Amino acid sequence: MDETVAEFIKRTILKIPMNELTTILKAWDFLSENQLQTVNFRQRKESVVQHLIHLCEEKRASISDAALLDIIYMQFHQHQKVWDVFQMSKGPGEDVDLFDMKQFKNSFKKILQRALKNVTVSFRETEENAVWIRIAWGTQYTKPNQYKPTYVVYYSQTPYAFTSSSMLRRNTPLLGQALTIASKHHQIVKMDLRSRYLDSLKAIVFKQYNQTYETHNSTTPLQERSLGLDINLETKFKSGLNGSILAEREEPLRCLIKFSSPHLLEALKSLAPAALVCRIQKLLCYSGSHSQGTQDPSSWQKDLYLLFVHLYPRC
Amino acid sequence: MDSYNAPESTPSASSRPEDYFIGATPLQKRLESVRKHSSFIPTPPRRKIPQCSQLQEDVDPQKVAFLLHKQWTLYSLTPLYKFSYSNLKEYSRLLNAFIVAEKQKGLAVEVGEDFNIKVIFSTLLGMKGAQRDPEAFLVQILSKSQLPSENRQGKVLWTGWFCCIFGDSLLETVSEDFTCLPLFLANGAESNTAIIGTWFQKTFDCYFSPLAINAFNLSWMAAMWTACKMDHYVATTEFLWSVPCSPQSLDISFAIHPEDAKALWDSVHKTPGEVTQEEVDLFMDCLYSHFHRHFKIHLSATRLVRVSTSVASAHTDGKIKILCHKYLIGVLAYLTELAIFQIE
C-alpha cells in the first residue's frame, strides 16, 4: 500500500470519534467482519488506528478505497462543511432525458480527467436518488491533494447540486461544467443560499422545486406567505448606559421577539446577517428556549427557521 | 414646562429664568421642543402621569364602556363655527338626510340596509379634563331594526365622537362663536367617516385632518402608560418597529411582560407624579440596549410604528385602542394635545 494512502487513511480514521468508528467502518465495508473482530476497540485510539492500518495494508487499500472512507466520514459529519447550492437548467425545448447514473458518473469523471489529468473522483450513491461525489484536485503536473477535496451531492431527479465550499475556487467553473454536461443540462447557476445543514437547504430548494409544479393548484403563492420567527428571551437586564438600572432585580426580563416579513430570509440577511444569526444561535443555547413560527408549523417553515439559525455559524 | 395641575386651574406658566420663550404658553414651549425633537434645554418637558381625575368619577363607567376595546381612527378638528348643543336633534335629522342623499347619489355604499338608518347625536357627559372644556358629543349611525320596537335600537354601524380634554391653549385663542373639540375619533367604515366629515365641514366650516402619531410621541405614550399604576395587567407591553430593508420591510415586535416593563420604568423614574423627557429617553434606551445586546440591531435607527400597553395601544397611522377605563381621560388628554398641535 502506498505510503500516502496509508497516511491518508490513518488521518481519516483519527478524525472519526470512537463512538462512531464501528458504524463507519461497517458502512465502508472494506474490512471484513473477521478482520474487524480482531480489533480491540477498547484500546487507546492510536493503537486501534495502528491495527486498522495494518488490516488495510493486508487488504491492499487503494486511493479509491480511502476516498470512499472519506466520503462516508463526510456523510456523517456534513455540518463540518458549508454547503452552496447550484441549480441547473435545461435549454429551451430540450427533452427531459431519463437519468442514467452509470452514464453520469462516467461522463463526470471523464470531463474532469480530460481537463486536469490529475484528479481523484469518487462516488457513493445514497437513497433519494442522490450521489455523493468527492473530488481531490491536482493539476497537469501535481498529484491530487487528498486533504482539500470538494464534495458534491447531486439529486439526480432534481436540477440541484450541493457543493462544499472549496478553498480552491479556481476549480469551480470546471466543476460546474462537469456537472452540467454529465447530467445533460444546459446551464448552471449558483443560488443565493448557504448553510452547514444540507437538510435545511434541501427542504428549501426541493419545496420550491415542487412548488413550480404546483402553482396551478396552489392558491397561496410562495411570496405572499408571511413567515415568522419567534424568539423567547429570558435574560437579566444589563445596561451599558447606567449600571444602576434594575441592578437589584434578580428576575430576568421576560421578552418575546418576533420577526416577520413576506420575505423573512432575505430581509434578515440584508439587515445584519452574521451578527444577528450568531446572536440568535447563542440565545438558543443559553436560554434553552424553543422557537416556533408564527403560523402553524409546516415543515417548510420549520426548515426555513433551521436554515436561518444555522446560516452563518461562524461568529 | 408643561404640567397639568388639578382640573380646575389652568396650567401655570413657568417662571423659571431659564425659559427663553418669554410669553409663550406652556404648551407652545413644549411644542417648540417637540419640533426640535430634542430635550428642551435646560427645562425638559414633562407631563403628569395620568391619574383618576376628579371629574372622571362622575362619568358612568357603563356609559363609556363602549368606548373601550375599540379601535378608533384619529383626526384633528378645527373649531366648529356656530355649533349649538341645543340643536342636536336638528343635526341628527339634517345629517340623516344628507347621508340618504349621498347614498342616492351612489356615494354612500356601506350604510347598512338601503336608507334604513338612523343618525343620533348625543352628549357624552363628563368626558372632559378641565371644567372649561366643552362637552364631548357623540354621533352614531344605527341600522333601523325591522321590527318597530322601542327597545330594539338596531346595530351600530358607525360611531364618531368629538372631545376636548384640557384644551385650554386652544380655547384661549378662539372667540365665543366657536366650539373647540379638537379631537375626533371614528370607528366604522371609512366611507361613512368621509360622508359625515363632509357634512360637518360644510355645516360648521371646520376641517378634519388625519392625526398621525410619530415615533417620538409613541415613545412618550409607552412610557406614560407604563407608568400608570395598574391592579392587574390585561395585555403584554409590546413595541413594533418597521425596518425598511430589501426586498420588503421587516417587522420586529418586542413584547415584554408588563410587570417587567413596570419594573424597568420604576427603576428609571425619578420625579414622582411626573414623566420627563429624560425618563422617556432612558426608558426607551434601556429597551433598545437590551435588544441590541442580544441581536446587535439598533432599533433606535428603525421606525417605531406601534406601542401597546394594558392602558392603551397606539399606531403611528393614528389609531388608538383604549383598554383601561381608569386612564381614559389621561390618554385622551395626550391625544388632544397632539390634535391641537396639528391644528395650530
Interface contact A241-B289, CB threshold 8 A: yes
Q: Which pTM was predicted? A: 0.56
CA–CA distance, A167 with A175 (Å, rounded to integer): 13
Q: How confident is the model over B106-127, as pLDDT tens digits?
A: 655 555 445 678 999 999 888 8
Q: How far is CA A248 from the centre of its chain?
A: 46
Interface contact B289-A283, CB threshold 8 A: no
CA–CA distance, A221 with A10 (Å, rounded to integer): 52
* Smallest CA–CA distance from B245 into chain A, residue: A267
Out of B250, B253, B263, name the one closest to residue A268 (CB): B250
The answer to whether A236 and A243 are in contact (CB under 8 A) is no
Is pLDDT above 50 for B61? Answer: yes
With beta carbons under 8 A apart, name residues in chain A contacting B294: 233, 235, 257, 279, 283
Q: Which of residues 179-238 of B touch A (CB under 8 A)?
A: 236
With beta carbons under 8 A apart, name residues in chain A contacting B267: 244-246, 249
Q: Which domains are seen in chain A, by residue range?
A: 3-77 (no CATH), 83-211 (3.60.90)
Provide the residue ranges of all domains of chain B, joining segments of one domain with +: 61-210, 213-316
Interface contact A246-B282, CB threshold 8 A: no
Beta bridge partners of residue A154, listed in sequence order: A131, A161
φ, ψ at A309 (rounded to 5°): -65, -35
User: Residue A219 contacts by C-beta under 8 Å, 6 or more apart in sequence?
Assistant: none
With beta carbons under 8 A apart, name residues in chain B contacting A243: none
Out of A253, A258, A276, name the one closest to residue B290 (CB): A253
The predicted pLDDT at position A261 comes to 78
The predicted pLDDT at position A289 comes to 30
At position A251, the amino acid (one-letter code) is E
Out of B251, B268, B293, name the one closest to residue A245 (CB): B268
Interface contact B255-A257, CB threshold 8 A: yes
CA–CA distance, B86 with B121 (Å, rounded to integer): 11
Interface contact B295-A279, CB threshold 8 A: yes
Q: How far is A109 from chain B (nearest CA, A)?
A: 41
CA–CA distance, A149 with A81 (Å, rounded to integer): 11
With beta carbons under 8 A apart, name residues in chain A contacting B254: 255-257
The answer to whether A271 and A229 are in contact (CB under 8 A) is no
| Angle (CA) A212 A216 A217, round 5° | 105
Assign 3-state DSSP to chain A and report helix, strand, coil percentages, each to 5. Answer: 45, 20, 35
ipTM: 0.74
Interface contact B250-A242, CB threshold 8 A: no
Interface contact A254-B256, CB threshold 8 A: yes
Q: Which of residues 256-295 of B touch A (CB under 8 A)?
A: 256-257, 260, 263-264, 267-268, 282, 285-286, 289-291, 293-295
pLDDT one digit per residue (tens) for chain A, 315 residues: 788 899 999 999 999 999 899 999 999 999 988 888 888 888 888 899 999 999 999 999 999 999 999 999 999 999 888 888 999 888 776 666 678 899 999 999 999 988 888 999 999 999 878 999 999 998 888 899 999 999 999 998 888 999 997 666 778 888 988 999 899 888 888 888 888 888 888 888 887 666 554 433 333 333 334 556 677 777 778 766 666 777 777 788 888 888 887 777 677 766 655 455 555 544 443 332 333 333 333 333 343 444 444 433 222
Any A CB within 8 A of B147 CB? no
The percent of residues above 90 in pLDDT, for chain B, comes to 47
The predicted pLDDT at position B52 comes to 53
Q: How far is A276 from chain B (nearest CA, A)?
A: 5
**Of the ranges B90-104, B128-142, B284-298, which one carries the lowest mean pLDDT score?**
B284-298
CA–CA distance, B133 with B104 (Å, rounded to integer): 38
The predicted pLDDT at position A94 comes to 65
Out of B253, B263, B285, name the one closest to residue A258 (CB): B253
How far from A113 is each of A138, A174, A176, B60, CA to CA, in Å? 10, 11, 14, 90
Confidence of residue B128 (pLDDT cuts 50, 70, 90): confident
Q: How confident is the model over B217-275, as pLDDT tens digits?
A: 999 999 999 999 888 888 899 999 988 765 677 889 999 999 999 999 999 998 888 88
At position B228, the amino acid (one-letter code) is C
The predicted pLDDT at position A242 comes to 63
Q: How far is B235 from chain A (nearest CA, A)?
A: 13
**Pick the residue with more confidence: B315 or A127?**
B315
